[in-house]
Amino acid sequence: MNIGLDMMGGDFAPLETVKGLQSYLAEYSSPAFLFLLGHEIQLKKILSEYRIPADSYQIVHAPEVIGMQEHPTKALKEKQQSSIAVGFHMLATGKIDALISAGNTGAMMVGALFSIKTLEGVHRPTIATIIPKENGKTGMLLDVGLNADCKPENLNQFALLGALYAKNILGIESPRVGLINIGEEEGKGNVLAQAAYPLLKENKQIQFIGNVEGRDLLLDKADVMVCEGFTGNIILKLAESIYEVTRHKNINNEFFERFNFENYGGTPVLGVAKPVIIGHGISQAKAFKNMIIVAQKIIETDLLTKMKTAFES
Amino acid sequence: MNIGLDMMGGDFAPLETVKGLQSYLAEYSSPAFLFLLGHEIQLKKILSEYRIPADSYQIVHAPEVIGMQEHPTKALKEKQQSSIAVGFHMLATGKIDALISAGNTGAMMVGALFSIKTLEGVHRPTIATIIPKENGKTGMLLDVGLNADCKPENLNQFALLGALYAKNILGIESPRVGLINIGEEEGKGNVLAQAAYPLLKENKQIQFIGNVEGRDLLLDKADVMVCEGFTGNIILKLAESIYEVTRHKNINNEFFERFNFENYGGTPVLGVAKPVIIGHGISQAKAFKNMIIVAQKIIETDLLTKMKTAFES
Report the length, in residues, of chain B: 313
- Provide the pLDDT confidence category of residue A198 given band limits of 50, 70 and 90: very high
Average pLDDT over residues A80-89: 97
CB neighbours (10 Å) of residue A178? Answer: 25
Q: Given this chain, do its domains B1-122+271-303 and B123-262 carry the same CATH topology?
A: yes
- How many Å apart are CA B71 and CA A89, to the nearest integer? 59
State the pLDDT at residue A233: 96
Phi-psi region at A138: left, alpha or beta (left = phi > 0; alpha = psi -120 to 50): beta
Q: Using pLDDT thresholds of 50, 70 and 90, give the confidence band for residue A255.
A: confident
Give the Cα separation of A122 and A151 in Å (integer). 13
What's the pLDDT score for residue B257? 87
pLDDT at A249: 87
**Phi-psi category of A145—alpha, beta or left, where left has phi over 0 and alpha has psi -120 to 50?**
left
pLDDT of B30:
87
State pLDDT tens for residues B161-205.
999 999 999 999 999 999 999 999 999 999 999 999 999 999 999
**Of B238, B266, B269, B232, the residue nearest B150 (C-alpha):** B232
- pLDDT value of residue A47: 97
The burial of A68, by beta-carbon neighbours within 10 Å (0-12 exposed, 13-18 middle, 19 or more buried), is given as: middle
CATH code for residues B1-122+271-303: 3.40.718.10
The Cα of A306 is separated from the nearest Cα of chain B by a number of Å equal to 31
Q: Give the CATH H-level superfamily of domain B123-262.
A: Isopropylmalate Dehydrogenase (3.40.718.10)
Residue A97 has pLDDT above 90, yes or no: yes
pLDDT > 90? residue A260: no
- In this prediction, residue A251 has a pLDDT band, given cuts at 50, 70 and 90, of confident
Average pLDDT over every residue of A124-142: 95
Is the ipTM above a cut-off of 0.90?
yes
Q: From the list A228, A241, A251, which residue is nearest B251 (CB)?
A: A251
Please check whether residue A286 is in contact with residue A139, taking contact to mean a CB–CB distance below 8 angstroms: no
State yes or no: pLDDT of A262 exceeds 90. Answer: no
The 10s digit of each residue's pLDDT in A19-36 is: 999 999 999 888 999 999
Residues of chain A in contact with residue B249, where contact means CB-CB under 8 angstroms, are 253, 255
What does each of the 313 residues of chain B score in pLDDT, given as a tens digit?
999 999 999 999 999 999 999 999 999 888 999 999 999 999 999 999 999 999 999 999 999 999 888 999 999 999 999 999 999 999 999 999 999 999 999 999 999 999 999 999 999 999 999 999 999 999 999 999 999 999 999 999 999 999 999 999 999 999 999 999 999 999 999 999 999 999 999 999 999 999 999 999 999 999 999 999 999 999 999 999 998 888 888 888 888 888 888 888 888 999 999 999 999 988 999 999 999 999 999 999 999 999 999 999 7
Quote the pLDDT of residue B249: 87
Q: B217 contacts in A (CB within 8 Å)? A: 234, 238, 241
pLDDT computed for residue A209 by the predictor = 98
Query: Residue A46 pLDDT more than 90?
Result: yes
Q: Kindly identify which residue of chain A lies nearest to residue B189, measuring between CA atoms.
A: A148
Nearest CB to A245: which of B134, B241, B245? B134
* Domain residue ranges in chain B: 1-122+271-303, 123-262
Cis preceding linkage at B220, omega within 30: no
User: B-chain residues within 8 Å CB-CB of A216?
Assistant: 241
For residue A80, pLDDT beyond 90 = yes
Predicted pLDDT at B196: 98
Which fold would CATH assign to domain A123-260?
Isopropylmalate Dehydrogenase (3.40.718)
Q: Using a CB cutoff of 8 Å and minimum separation of 24, what contacts does B66-69 make? A: B66/B103, B66/B104, B66/B107, B67/B104, B68/B11, B68/B103, B68/B104, B68/B281
Give the pLDDT band (50/70/90) at residue A265: confident
Nearest-by-Cβ selection for B242 from A242, A244, A248: A242
Distances (CA, A) of B284 to A234, B21, B102, B263, B279: 31, 11, 10, 10, 10
Interface test with A, best of B137, B147, B233 (most A CBs within 10 A): B233
SS3 B179: strand
In this prediction, residue A69 carries a pLDDT of 87
- Does pLDDT of A205 surpass 90? yes
Strand B126-132 with A224-226, pairing: unpaired
Structural contact between residues A63 and A39, judged by C-beta atoms closer than 8 angstroms: yes
Chain B: nearest CA to A211, how far in angstroms?
12
| Of A177-181, A250-254, B83-87, B164-168, minimum mean pLDDT range | A250-254
Q: Is the pLDDT of residue A152 over 90?
A: yes
At residue B250, the pLDDT reads: 86
The model's pLDDT over B56-66, given as tens digits with 9 standing for 90+, comes to 999 999 999 99
The pLDDT mean for chain B works out to 95
Distance from CA of B69 to the nearest CA of A (A): 12
Q: What DSSP assignment string belongs to chain A?
A: -EEEEESS-STTTTHHHHHHHHHHHHH-SSPPEEEEEE-HHHHHHHHHHTT--GGGEEEEE--B---TTS-HHHHHHH-TTBHHHHHHHHHHTTS-SEEEE-S-HHHHHHHHHHTSPBPTT-SS-EEEEEEE-TTS-EEEEE-SSS-SS--HHHHHHHHHHHHHHHHHTS--SSPEEEEE-SSSSTT-SSHHHHHHHHHHHH-TTSEEEEEE-GGGTTTTT-SEEE--HHHHHHHHHHHHHHHHHHHHTT---HHHHTT-GGGT-SEEEESBSS-EEE--TT--HHHHHHHHHHHHHHHHTTHHHHHHHHHH-
B29, B35 Cβ separation under 8 angstroms = no
Is B234's CB within 8 Å of A182's CB? yes
